[in-house]
Structures are given as C-alpha cells and as structure tokens.
Amino acid sequence: MPLQFVYSNQDFVIDVCRSSGNGHRLASPPVKFDRIIQAGWRDRMERGLFRYHLGDLQTRILPGPHGYVAQLNVQRGTERRKPQEILSIQQEFDGKQFNFNRINPEEIIFEMMKSTEGDTDLHDNGPLHQPCRIVVLVNVSPLEFGHCLFVPDPSCCFPQTLTRFAIQVGIESVLLSSDPGFRVGFNSLGAFASVNHLHLHGYYLDHELKIESMPVKPLVPEKGFFRLLDFPAGFLFYTESEEVEKVARAICEVTDFLVDGNISHNLFLTRGCPPHDCIEKEKDHCSRKGVRIAVWPRISCFGAKEESAFNVALCELAGHLPFKNKKDYELTTEKDVIDIIQSYLLPDSEFLRLEQQLTCHLMDL
C-alpha cells in the first residue's frame, strides 16, 4: 500500500522568498511534502529503479540577458523510453500503448489527496466528476533531482489533456513546497508529450529562472490572465493561495480553447513574484508567495525530427535547457537557443489573433 499524503489549504507555504544577488533559494527547512518526495526519490535511485543514475549535472548559465540555465544530461537523451506515436492533440487514450497502469509499483512514491473538509470544490466539478486521488511516481528518465510525475487516478485512463482538477493539483503542489526551486509542468500532445496518459511533471532546479519575475501586460487581470512581455511569447496566470480555484478554472478555459482549436501547448508552474510591467521594489522582486503559470501555445510536432541540441518543451521554454550532448552544451549561445525556440512558436500574427480570442473568451465567461 503506497504512502498516503493528505493535505489541506493550511499546508500551503506562504512565506517564500528568493535571496537578492545570487538568485539561489534561501535556505529553509523542507516541509513534509518536500521530505516525502526527496526521500522517496533518493530511495528509488539507490535501489536502481531508474534507467540511469543521475548525479550532480554539469551546469552553466549562458551569457546574455535571458540567463538560460544549461545542463548536460546525455543519458536522458539516449536512455529514455521511446515516445509514443502521436497523431492529434485530441487523441484518445489507448490502453494497448504504454501507460501508468503498467509501471513497476515500486516506482510509486506516494498517493496524495486533498482533505475535502469545508471544501466543496473538488466535489462540484460539473459533469466531469474528477477524481481526488493523485499518484506520485518517479520519472525513471529524470531531467533533474526529484523528477516525478503527478498522475490523477491512473485507473481512470484520462488522455493527456488538462482538466481543472489536474491544473489545481499542479498549482497546489507548488504551494505545498517550501522550496522556490520546485517546478511543475505539462506538455500537451504535439508539444513533446511522450505518453498519452494524463500527467504533470515536477522537479527541483536550484537556479532562478527569468520567468519568475518577467514583466507582463494585463489582459484579464481579474482572472489572473496576462501576456508575457519578453521572449518566448506566451501567456501568464498568477495566483496566491486564496485564488487557486478561480485561476485554475480560467487556465482550464484557455487550455480547453487551445485543444478545441488543435493548438499544442506547454505549461510551466513556478513560484514567482506578483505580476507587474516593471519592478520598483527589491522586496517585490524577491517575493515568491504566489505561483506563476506560463502557457505557451506553439506549433505542433507530430513525428517531427527532434532537435539535436535539446527538445523545446515545458522546461526549455521556461529557460531550463537539458542538453543531449557535450558539444552543443559547450558551444550553444543565447542567440542559438532563441533561434531554435522561435522555430516552434506561433507566428506573431497568429499569436496576436489568439490573444484577442482568449481575452474575449475569458471576459465573456
């Protein structure tokens, strides 16, 4: 029987900051959520359940204003499971393909569930009736320390399409961690998702990313909806602990709109400072009490040849670049990175049209 972790809103960690200067996290004792993930992940690594041993990765910050965090992770590029053939963003779940009901049970770290005392939202999800159980398992081809997968009740066999419940779990997982380096992300089908079974990624990266404090333009601020004002072009939601359910609904409206329009997308969730068009106070820049959720609509990749240097998925768009070979890791410049990522983004005219459509869509709700 897997370890059970039951949480409530009272378990959210509010007082999280970044140190000024070096961009690293402030030392703070890990809370129960972090302790369970980290101890369970190390245990599975020591027991040889991963496809390769992941030690401290060679890391460098690329020169330039974007501060890209480059890491050399050759074995993830060579040893990971071959991605499934994906033909459509709306592809149905196929039980004959690999899915998370087929894993070694030893890969499960724990199951988490939100206490529903005084919280009707998880019981009142309209016609979806989403499950409340989340299975947390190790990613056996890890890209960084603590890399795990959050799978909403695997037995329900949901395809890799975001639901409001999954989005809320992602946001709440970030809030449950006391480490500003804990990130959560999602790749849709056609956006380098390798398994068509609903899951989110979570991992620790002990380096500040520009997305944590990037300036934004308000679009529908009352629903937490903004546009990123720097590369790569995308949208941003922001929430603090008391607004999670409302913002999760708005995010789901956007991702449903993208799925209906056959537009692939990546999400990245991280601790971040409140939305702004410019930072005026150092304390605001260091604040990490809320969660930033970046949404990048992008060109779909179905059976496309993978980039030799890195794939463009959730972590690369956020500024974390796992490189597959030493030469690219050592020689790639910020301009090279921007050129590669740009080739996967929507053309400017298409992005602006989508921005107008999404703004109207959210305002009409």
> Model confidence over 44-57: pLDDT tens digits?
999 999 999 999 99
DSSP letter assigned to residue 345: B
Q: Where are the beta strands (DSSP E) in 78-207?
A: 108-114, 133-138, 148-152, 182-187, 200-204
Which residues lie closer than 8 Å to 176 by C-beta, 6 or more apart?
7, 11, 12, 13, 31, 33
Active site includes 24? no
Do residues 222 and 200 make contact, with C-beta atoms less than 8 angstroms apart?
A: no
What secondary structure letter does DSSP report for 329? H
CA distance 114 to 157: 20
The answer to whether 270 and 244 have CB atoms below 8 angstroms apart is no
pLDDT at 124 over 60: no
Check pLDDT > 80 for residue 164: yes
Mean pLDDT of all residues in 282-304: 86
What's at 12, amino acid-wise?
Answer: F
Provide the β-strand partners of residue 133: 113
**Tell me, what's the pLDDT at 132?**
80
Helices 244-260/348-364 angle, 10° precision: 130
Q: How far is CA 135 from each of CA 113, 149, 200, 362, rounded to the nearest angstrom?
A: 9, 8, 11, 31
| pTM passes above 0.85 | yes
CA-based nearest residue to 99, from 41, 142, 158: 158
Mean pLDDT of the chain: 90
Q: How confident is the model at residue 38 (pLDDT cuts 50, 70, 90)?
A: very high
Closest CA to 299 of 253, 338, 347, 260: 347
Specify the residue for token string 């949901």: 158
Domains of the chain, first to last: 28-364 (3.30.428.70)
Instruction: Determine the pLDDT at residue 279.
Output: 53
Distance between start and end Cα atoms, the chain:
43
* pLDDT given for residue 287 in this prediction: 85
Q: Which helix (H) or strand (E) holds 341?
A: helix 334-342
pLDDT at 120: 44
Active site residue: 66, 197, 199, 207, which one?
Answer: 199
- Provide the pLDDT confidence category of residue 22 given band limits of 50, 70 and 90: very low
